[in-house]
């Protein structure tokens, strides 16, 4: 599982995206899940990181889902029109 940090704003986004891409490359599974449960302070950059991670996973032939997405992040995804791209992980 790919774990997002507690804080993911514009300043942290590039390093987080690199970390998640590296984790995806070393992960042997065919299904990637990003765990957003730790997210406490975030902005729309968190969506950009998740979409980048999704893009990377799909490029590697993996499926992608997001687990434990905070309500506010789901709302942001809806406002930006990307909610359908960030599929919730199966419970």
Residue 91 lies in a domain: no
- Give the chain's domain count: 1
SS (H, E, C) the chain: CEECCCEECCCCHHHHHHHHHHHHHHCCCCEEEEECCCCCEECCHHHHHHHHHHHHHHHCCCEEEEECCCHHHHHHHHHCCCHHHCCECCC
Q: Is 90 a domain residue?
A: no
Structural domain includes residue 37: yes
- Domain assignment present for residue 36? The answer is yes
Domain of 81, CATH number, reads 3.30.750.24
- Asked whether residue 20 is domain-assigned, the answer is yes
Could you report the per-residue pLDDT of 30-88, keeping only the tens digit for each? 999 999 999 999 999 999 999 999 999 999 999 999 999 999 999 999 999 999 999 99
- What is the reported pTM? 0.94
Structural domain range at position 64: 2-85
């Amino acid at each position: 599982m790919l774990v997002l940090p507690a804080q993911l704003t514009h300043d942290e986004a590039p390093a987080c995206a690199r970390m998640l891409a590296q984790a995806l490359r070393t992960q042997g599974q065919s299904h990637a899940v990003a765990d957003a449960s730790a997210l406490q302070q975030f902005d729309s950059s968190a969506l950009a990181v998740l979409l980048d991670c999704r893009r990377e996973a799909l490029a590697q032939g993996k499926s992608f889902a997001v687990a434990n997405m905070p309500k506010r992040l789901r709302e942001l995804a809806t406002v930006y029109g990307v909610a359908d791209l960030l599929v919730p992980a199966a419970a």
